[in-house]
Structure 1
Amino acid sequence: MQVVSISSLKGGVGKTSVTLGLASAALAAGIPTLVVDLDPHADATTGLAVSAGDKLGIGDMLRNARRADLAANVVPSGWVETARKRNQGSKRAPVLDVAMGSAYSGIYDRPDLGKRDLKRLSTLLGKVNGYGLVLIDCPPSLNGLTRIAWTASNRVLLVAEPGLFSVAGTERTMRALDLFRREFAPNLAPAGIVANRVRPTSNEHTFRLAEMKQMFGGLLLEPNIAEHANWQQIQGAAHSVHHWPGESAKQAASTFDALLKNLVQTGSVRNRVMRRPAS
């Protein structure tokens, strides 16, 4: 089970949008996926068209991590029914579950959490199986919730816009990730950096992308995510981009397919290397 945190220390760069796009691609690819909405704003939960019912949110489960049953409290995304109708001939039922976001989780978004608190999400995830991929939507900060997510993750995917402040923030995040890995999570690694909301006709974006390639090398993933004119409408409808009509949505879906393929393949290779016995 690959556990990937979607992170950015700068708000407004489309981190949740990237999480939703990857979740949509995973659903289309038939990868059983769990989305953990660790941002207290719970935008990913809303975008995934979740009906809460009587299930616990992630904040309540973090509070009682040793006793809480994560598997019993995940909720299927509303996207699943659409995917099921489109794939009626498939033998495998689509799986896209959500650990719902909760304002209560904000009590852990402090900079002074101890090691015991940092392992709360790891404890919850250790009780579930059957997923090929776990995506954690982190808040835009390096406080407790992001550290909890990183502790539970194999890798961290960073989201950035091709702008001065976002590029500088990504560089700071890379340094923070390296420090965190050395102190708390030696097996944690960067999954790469996604350039989001790219306008190909913008000279500033072209310059910043070249700057990012020089700064981050192979960590800058391809393809970039182009600015999507319909993205607000798609998210406002709580809809999967893979099931939205129109050529623009189709192109966006293919971008997320390529990013997911890169993410999953890279993680599989890395996991095989980590498990290779010493000669």
Structure 2
Amino acid sequence: MTEPTTAFRPRILAVANQKGGVGKTTTAINLGTALAAVGRSVLVIDLDPQGNASTGLGIDHHQRKRSAYHVLVGACDAAAATVPTHIPRLDILPSSVELSGSELELIELPTPQLRLRKALAALPAKYDYVLIDCPPSLNLVTVNAMAAADAVLVPLQCEFFALEGLSQLLKTIERVRAALNPHLEIQGIVLTMFDRRNRLSEQVADDVRTHMGAKVYETVIPRNVRISEAPSYGKPALLYDHRCAGSQAYIRLAGELLRRERSRAAAA
């Protein structure tokens, strides 16, 4: 059953990991699609200069005349740069290549770490969730995302150095919490590119669960060819092939996220 959206402030989740190729963009666009499919109104913010989330949601370059870069530097407000996707209830604030050099510009502006927070405070009250696809680095743009977010969702690839990279990210989250955003929390850790045929995947999953406990989602995202193919067609995997193992995993992830969010709200 479709659940109604709310008119309250959106729940803002930064999808972050300083490592590239771990599934941040794939998670942002497919989780956003799954949430929209169950009636949530969702905004995806593409903060990666490569613009893969924008491409993966079918946004052509001619539709990116105003982008996250223009919002961060104050050239326009967030609503003016937001464009609808072909998925009902799912909008995107697209990226552009100008983001790659934005750090030098941002550092000269007042409160450069809080540019995105201030921009999102002026969003119209139409979204239930805002998912921020962060760049693969711990730079000023990523700090802006964490300063604006309620929580961080961490996609973690099942590889040998996963815990080492996670440790670095957790230190950054703690620094942002101490200096800029005292309410920032870890919403959850999503194990990605999981291969049940590979003993290393099982070992990494066990290690992460041992160290992080209930923060780790039960749902794991498998290695899946259809997930990799979908962006070349400008579609999330859930539209490209909703029956594939990857799409089904993201549907389960969305359900688990919503259950966590309900539990959090009940405990507040």
Q: Counterpart amino acid of 1:122? A: R
Task: Decide whether the 8 Å contact of 2:64 with 2:94 is kept in 1.
Answer: no
Within 2, Cα distance between the matches of 1:147 and 1:39?
13
Within 2, Cα distance between the matches of 1:118 and 1:160?
25
- Aligned residue runs from structure 1 range 218-257, under 5 A: 218-245=214-241, 247-248=243-244, 251-257=245-251
Q: Give the unaligned 5+ runs of structure 2.
A: 1-9
| TM-score with structure 2 setting the length | 0.88
> Shift of residue 236 of structure 1?
1.0
Within 1, Cα distance between the matches of 2:92 and 2:240?
21
Shift of the 208–64 alpha-carbon distance from structure 1 to 2, 3 Å rule, reads same
- Does 1:58 find its partner at 2:53? no
| TM-score with structure 1 setting the length | 0.85
Considering only aligned residues, what root-mean-square deviation do their CA atoms show, in Å? Answer: 2.0
Q: Find the partner of 2:199 among 189, 194, 203.
A: 203
- Does 1:19 find its partner at 2:28? yes
Task: Decide whether the 8 Å contact of 1:161 with 1:167 is kept in 2.
Answer: no
Instruction: Give the equivalent residue in structure 2 for 1:259.
Output: 253
> Shift of residue 196 of structure 1?
0.3
Segments of 4+ moved more than 4 angstroms: 112-115, 271-274
Q: Give the unaligned 5+ runs of structure 1.
A: 81-93, 275-279
Instruction: Give the equivalent residue in structure 2 for 1:69.
Output: 77
Instruction: Give the equivalent residue in structure 1 for 2:96.
Output: 102
Instruction: Give the equivalent residue in structure 2 for 1:150.
Output: 146
Q: Deviations over 1:32-91 (max 9, x none)?
A: 1001000111110000101443741110121116xx23212211113x2xxxxxxxxxxx
Secondary structure of the residue aligned to 1:26 is helix
Shift of the 57–259 alpha-carbon distance from structure 1 to 2, 3 Å rule, reads same
Secondary structure of the residue aligned to 1:140 is coil
Secondary structure of the residue aligned to 1:39 is coil
Instruction: Give the equivalent residue in structure 2 for 1:88.
Output: none
- Does 1:216 find its partner at 2:212? yes
Shift of the 3–103 alpha-carbon distance from structure 1 to 2, 3 Å rule, reads same
Report how many aligned residue pairs link the two structures.
255
> Shift of residue 161 of structure 1?
1.0
Task: Decide whether the 8 Å contact of 2:162 with 2:204 is kept in 1.
Answer: no
Within 1, Cα distance between the matches of 2:191 and 2:165?
13
From the two aligned structures, give the one with the greater strand fraction: 2
Q: Deviations over 1:208-263 (max 9, x none)?
A: 11111111111111111011122222121111322234742xx3223212222232
Within 2, Cα distance between the matches of 1:97 and 1:14?
20
Within 1, Cα distance between the matches of 2:65 and 2:267?
38
- Does 1:43 find its partner at 2:55? no
Q: Find the partner of 1:121 among 104, 116, 121.
A: 116
Within 2, Cα distance between the matches of 1:245 and 1:203?
28
Identity of aligned residues (%): 26
